[in-house]
Structure 1
Amino acid sequence: MILRSIGRLHGDLKPENILIDPSIQITNSDMFLNTANPQPRYLQVKLIDLESGSKYYSWGHKLITTIYYRAPEVILGLPWGHEIDQWSLGCIAFELYFGKISFSPGESEANLFGIQHMIGQFPEKMINECTIPKFKRLFENGLINPKNISTESYEALVGCTPLYKLEMDSDLKDLILKLLSFDPFHRPSLDEILNHPFLVPKD
């Protein structure tokens, strides 16, 4: 929220750029709750590597963000804004919950196919407005043809269960799906994220 208030976005949110107070020992996935006294346990975190971000909110076109956490509008060469950070947060939340990266074996083509497989079909508008010819050619009748990505990447992704089918906390699933919305303007604002049922302490 501080970044937003001074007209900046981060642009490279990923676990490596999120530091946690070293005095707090994290031992398991229940790190936020004490089972004997289930009260929220807050962590002090700090974001680093702010040099990747854009100074202003004006929509950009340059390539930004580490591939595993890169929003689809960036990959497809579309205009992007601070909403790319929300997409990255969705990827990070998925990774922290499941212990694995959400979409990509490490190449943009496979990343796009992983997004399609895990989230759903790309909006026609995004495909039509794609400015990267090699990525636009991946799509046939609105879908990425698996023949257009490497066999290794396809095999690594096709066995993954789509996000909406995964068994997990329903509030967390709802938050991640909203953060990973194709439409940047449908991704929740920071206030909406902080007030989401998953992050609001339950009585």
Structure 2
Amino acid sequence: MHDLRLIHTDLKPENILVVSPEHVKVPDYKVSLRSPKDGSYFKIVPKSSAIKVIDFGSTTYDRQDQSYIVSTRHYRAPEVIFGLGWSYPCDIWSVGCILVELCSGEALFQTHENLEHLAMMERVLGPLPQHMLKRANRHAEKYVRRGRLDWPEGATSRESIKAVLKLPRLQVFIHIFLTFLILHMFKVILVWPVTRFAHVLCLK
């Protein structure tokens, strides 16, 4: 899709389908260890790993106006929130969030508020780059104070602060869930925008 100079802008699990309806039963070893006599220790998996991306209603060509808000909240890249303009890396970020969700069973950034969302990103990835903080547009500059993210001072509630603190660092998450190969993939996808795009070009 990117080779066609198209940016999807709304990648999420609901927009990625398995191509083949055929499936097989395979042993679910985690369950069978707990209840070996129970016949429910099989899980159903697709025969083919081929997938298809759908819903191109928000898709845009590169070089068109890219200053407006795109992506479903949980899969939205930081540059979109800051109003810095966006391009192919916003799709790459969404893919990273989807991979985390597939591995853990839960969306990584479960929030509906911009400042909390950015704070969650910092919690997982480390401090936001200064160039992003300095270039925040007029709608997002309120999230920045004295050269850093206005957090936790700007939090709307204690529950919001707790929601951020309970998130694991990306490195911790990786060691819990992932193999070495996927570990490397996460490290090049869930990063700040400039590095994200350069890394994915290398993966190709």
TM over 0.5: yes
Identity in percent: 27
Q: 1:180 to 1:4 in 2, by over 3 A?
A: same
Does the alignment pair 1:155 with 2:162? yes
Q: Could you tell me which residue of structure 2 aligns to residue 33 of structure 1? A: none
RMSD: 2.4
What is the alpha-carbon distance in structure 1 between the residues aligned to residue 72 and residue 55 of structure 2?
12
| 1:1-203 correspondence to structure 2 within 5 Å | 3-25=1-23, 42-58=48-64, 60-133=66-139, 135-140=140-145, 141-151=147-157, 152-166=159-173, 167=175, 168-169=177-178, 170-187=180-197, 188-189=199-200, 192=203
CA-CA distance at 1:118 after TM superposition? 0.7
Contact 1:8 1:57 in 2 (8 A): no
Q: What are the superposed Cα offsets for residues 170-196 of structure 1, whole Å, 9 maximum, x if unpaired? A: 332331131111133433336716xxx
Q: 1:27 to 1:92 in 2, by over 3 A?
A: farther
What is the alpha-carbon distance in structure 2 between the residues aligned to residue 26 and residue 97 of structure 1?
20
Structure 1 window deviating more from structure 2 (122-131 vs 170-179): it is 170-179
Contact 2:7 2:88 in 1 (8 A): yes
Please give the secondary structure, in 2, of the residue aligned with 1:177.
helix
Report the structure number with the largest CA radius of gyration.
2
| Structure 1 spans left out of the alignment, 5+ residues | 31-40, 194-203
- Give the partner amino acid of 2:144: F
What is the alpha-carbon distance in structure 2 between the residues aligned to residue 72 and residue 18 of structure 1?
22
What is the alpha-carbon distance in structure 1 between the residues aligned to residue 129 and residue 91 of structure 2?
20
TM-score scaled to structure 2, two decimals? 0.77
Q: Could you tell me which residue of structure 1 aligns to residue 38 of structure 2? A: none
Q: What are the superposed Cα offsets for residues 54-90 of structure 1, whole Å, 9 maximum, x if unpaired? A: 1234561111010100110011000211111100000
Contact 1:103 1:111 in 2 (8 A): yes
What is the alpha-carbon distance in structure 2 between the residues aligned to residue 150 and residue 57 of structure 1?
37
Q: 1:25 to 1:110 in 2, by over 3 A?
A: farther
Q: Could you tell me which residue of structure 1 aligns to residue 33 of structure 2? A: none
Contact 1:103 1:157 in 2 (8 A): no
Structure 1 window deviating more from structure 2 (143-152 vs 120-129): it is 143-152
- Give the partner amino acid of 1:155: K
Number of residue pairs matched by the alignment? 179
Contact 1:71 1:87 in 2 (8 A): yes
- Give the partner amino acid of 1:149: A
CA-CA distance at 1:143 after TM superposition? 3.5
- Give the partner amino acid of 1:186: R
